[in-house]
Amino acid sequence: MPTIFVKKDDRVVVTVYAYDDTDGKTEAVTDKLEVPNTASDIQELEFIFRRPNYSDSYDSLRATGMTGTEMNPSDLNKLSDLVLRTLLTDWNISDGEKKIPFARSGINRLHPAVARSASGGALEKMGI
């Protein structure tokens, strides 16, 4: 039977693999097979998102200003930011010894590659 209503506790978990490439540049992907063999300091991060409902979907389209079926890069950036700020509910990130507590203000401190991978992984898993 199809799911008609989104439950408040319905969650999507996205695993992001952050690593340093050979030039020391931080990169991040959601598919472990995409991590190059030459990567160093691979860190597995978990981001937990709540599944969006109709209101979230509508608000996302309105906030991005997207019209039609094509999305330009600024629309995609707005959508990624909106996903992180409205749907991200928790994360499992540690500094090596202890878990760093989730806080909305912490989103601003994420490396851009990690943030893009997390929001992109969420959009892909949610089928948006």
Residue 57 within any structural domain of the chain: yes
Quick: pLDDT tens for 60-119: 777 766 665 666 666 678 888 889 999 999 999 987 788 889 998 889 999 999 999 999
Q: In total, how many domains does the chain have?
A: 1
Residue 97 within any structural domain of the chain: yes
Structural domain for 42, as ranges:
11-126
Confidence of residue 50 (pLDDT cuts 50, 70, 90): very high
Residue 69 within any structural domain of the chain: yes
Please tell me the distance from the alpha carbon of residue 118 to that of residue 83, in angstroms, as a whole number. 9
Distances (CA, A) of 17 to 7, 32, 54, 113: 28, 7, 30, 10
Residue 26 within any structural domain of the chain: yes
Task: Tell me what pLDDT residue 102 has.
Answer: 94
Quote the pTM value. Answer: 0.85
φ/ψ region of 77 (left if φ > 0, alpha if ψ in -120 to 50, else beta) reads alpha
Residue 4 within any structural domain of the chain: no
Residue 1 within any structural domain of the chain: no
Mean pLDDT of 6-10: 88
Task: Tell me what pLDDT residue 65 has.
Answer: 67
Quick: pLDDT tens for 12-45: 999 999 999 888 899 999 999 999 998 888 999 9
Residue 25 within any structural domain of the chain: yes
Lookup: tokens for 24: 């020391």
Lookup: tokens for 25: 């540049």
Q: Which residues pair with 29 in a beta bridge?
A: 17
User: At which residue do the structure tokens 């509508």 appear?
Assistant: 58
